Structure 1
């Protein structure tokens, strides 16, 4: 029996958008205050839906909002993903991840009719085909929009919420953990999600920057092989020597022999039963990590560390 069931349907995030029959009327929707006066009510409702984006957990990023803001600032009806990444460097990881996972294309296909606004997955291209929609987006009060989205992390304070460090033997577990955390709306460093950026890079410097300066937390999956084999030695040394312990979230194997990270037993950690079904463990771990990220985002830069 496989240790990992398919994650075809993930748990509903803690924060969810109201259904159509629960949604407030456009004039009662706080986001409507940011929409230009005189905008068609149906169009105003569409803009509010897009601004909120998919349902996510507290402290998540807002790649759809960032893409809309980039498009609104352009004179062209077309906006490429990389244009938005340059406009919003602190959210570039979240924007690229949403593109890579196909969530941007599926979101726009779900909420809009053809010929209004759509996203080309192959090209990474947003097309605002409707002239009235383009005009409304160009006149949006984006500061007011952001003010009514307090559950999102719009600070661009760090590129990554979580960085994943692990031994290659645990790729199945880690890839599933990445998938759930990304669906909950967080910016996550997972090496296989960033092969294009790793290609040709000085890998040691690349990883050191992510682990030490660019991530809110570093999740270390402490399997029997982590820190013992050559490919993982550098990561283990960097995390032990340069990452503050309060930013390390350890996940220990049950029945794991003594290893170089035994000192972390004295701080809070999670357990991974490598012989059991990994799917419920992935979901539980992702929800706990989500709460940790949300608390740190809520604390703000002055209350953090």
Structure 2
């Protein structure tokens, strides 16, 4: 009987390298743990614990609460409807709350966040010994709270959890090895691919043991002989079933535009490269100017926010904060999945012709001021289809205080894949159109100049135009139909250019 009892209490794989819930055998104090513990012991001072998912914030808070001797803690999550109702009720009657932990803070409404900020300020001013709020959220959760009241900054403790250093991740794996009496031959690779995430380390170690048949603590030391490539392939296949369809849905956006510059796909790709598992979308466009226009379009017009808010499946893995233009991964498994995608194959599966772009712009518009209505309409319609277009009014802030000729010349010479010149009766007489055409005239013979000839002018005025095909635009006909026809041809030309890469 004693032998059976001994066998029953052996640590089992799922208890050691845990995929859900708080670990016991493999709990490791993160770097910020001591500061968290002291803050919990400080009366009246509420705490914000912020940082990427999967790095151990919630586990650290739970363990620190226990270490601080706090017995009356309530743990709530903004992912659960009943908990949200309890949070809102608590805010209406905040007397003697005890210690309340609010996880996934970023998912709460702005009103509830504001009420929490007000309560934190009150508790601090009163030096309340009976109540403390501990908010857990994504990166910049503290700044989000402080935005509701700048005077809150000195009344709360904001503890940013960064990705964990390698020695902490290795400590976690070593604790698991000790509990199971196993030596993982791929430990170094597990540490490296975890990239600071305790959760990812648990997941990879779990699957390594599973492949090696280590399901519980062994009597004798087991030394595994697994291929890390095989472990990763197994994990990716499991994750594919959970995340592939929603990654595809996000990358396609609200509507797939095959000739476009794939703004949603690029946002996802940039996320996969981020150490903090979050990106500021506007700052990323400064680093990737070839996607500036298309990404700016989906962010500022609310398309990105609408895409996420309309899909519960996407909301489980991604969060977008419109106030700060920050896109954040919420699930550590998802970040591992997108980090290890074959992005070229993924882009093809999504349906894009190509994600390689030969030029900074797909089109550069050249026109006389009298025909700005046509230029503006073309710009709006092309940008709507997620292609990059140089249009002077959209670039005024960059041209300002620059040498205009030096700025414009390379755009018309080579930085735009195609130049669209809108040829109206005044085009040959304008100073700037003369300058622009002088810079792109050599590109006619390579098929890189697309004339849009308005019915108000004569084609014979333009020597080069008579030698190439052009788009006719009849001013006397329905404007929207002429626009639609021209845009259709331009997008087809852009797509053909992508296929040739």
TM over 0.5: yes
Which aligned pairs between 1:130-169 and structure 2 lie closer than 5 A?
Answer: 130-149=331-350, 151-169=352-370
Distance in 1 of aligned mates of 2:246 and 2:332: 14
Which aligned pairs between 1:50-129 and structure 2 lie closer than 5 A?
Answer: 50-85=250-285, 88-112=288-312, 116-121=317-322, 123-129=324-330
Tell me, yes or no, if structure 1 residue 289 matches structure 2 residue 490: yes
Q: Give the length in aligned residue pairs.
A: 267
Structure 1 residues 34 and 55 mapped into 2: Cα distance closer, same or farther (>3 Å)?
A: farther
Distance in 1 of aligned mates of 2:235 and 2:373: 44
Distance in 2 of aligned mates of 1:237 and 1:130: 53
Structure 1 residues 149 and 34 mapped into 2: Cα distance closer, same or farther (>3 Å)?
A: farther
Tell me, yes or no, if structure 1 residue 254 matches structure 2 residue 462: no
Alpha-carbon contact 2:290-2:388 (below 8 Å) kept = no
Match of 1:211 among 397, 412, 416: 412
Structure with bigger RCO (C-alpha 8 Å, 6+ apart): 1
Distance in 1 of aligned mates of 2:323 and 2:475: 37
Q: CA RMSD in A?
A: 3.0
- Matching residue of 1:11: none
Deviates more, 1:286-295 or 1:114-123: 114-123
Structure 1 residues 102 and 173 mapped into 2: Cα distance closer, same or farther (>3 Å)?
A: farther
Alpha-carbon contact 1:35-1:140 (below 8 Å) kept = no
Q: Deviations over 1:147-204 (max 9, x none)?
A: 4346332113211111111122222222221222222232221222223322332221
Higher normalized helix content (fraction of residues): 2
Q: Deviations over 1:82-101 (max 9, x none)?
A: 55336645434433444455
Structure 1 residues 77 and 161 mapped into 2: Cα distance closer, same or farther (>3 Å)?
A: same
TM-score after normalising by structure 1: 0.75
Distance in 1 of aligned mates of 2:234 and 2:311: 20
Tell me, yes or no, if structure 1 residue 273 matches structure 2 residue 474: yes
Alpha-carbon contact 1:158-1:214 (below 8 Å) kept = yes
Which aligned pairs between 1:212-231 and structure 2 lie closer than 5 A?
Answer: 212-231=413-432
Larger Rg: 2
TM-score after normalising by structure 2: 0.48
Distance in 1 of aligned mates of 2:267 and 2:250: 10
- Matching residue of 1:195: 396
Which aligned pairs between 1:31-42 and structure 2 lie closer than 5 A?
Answer: 36-39=236-239, 41=241
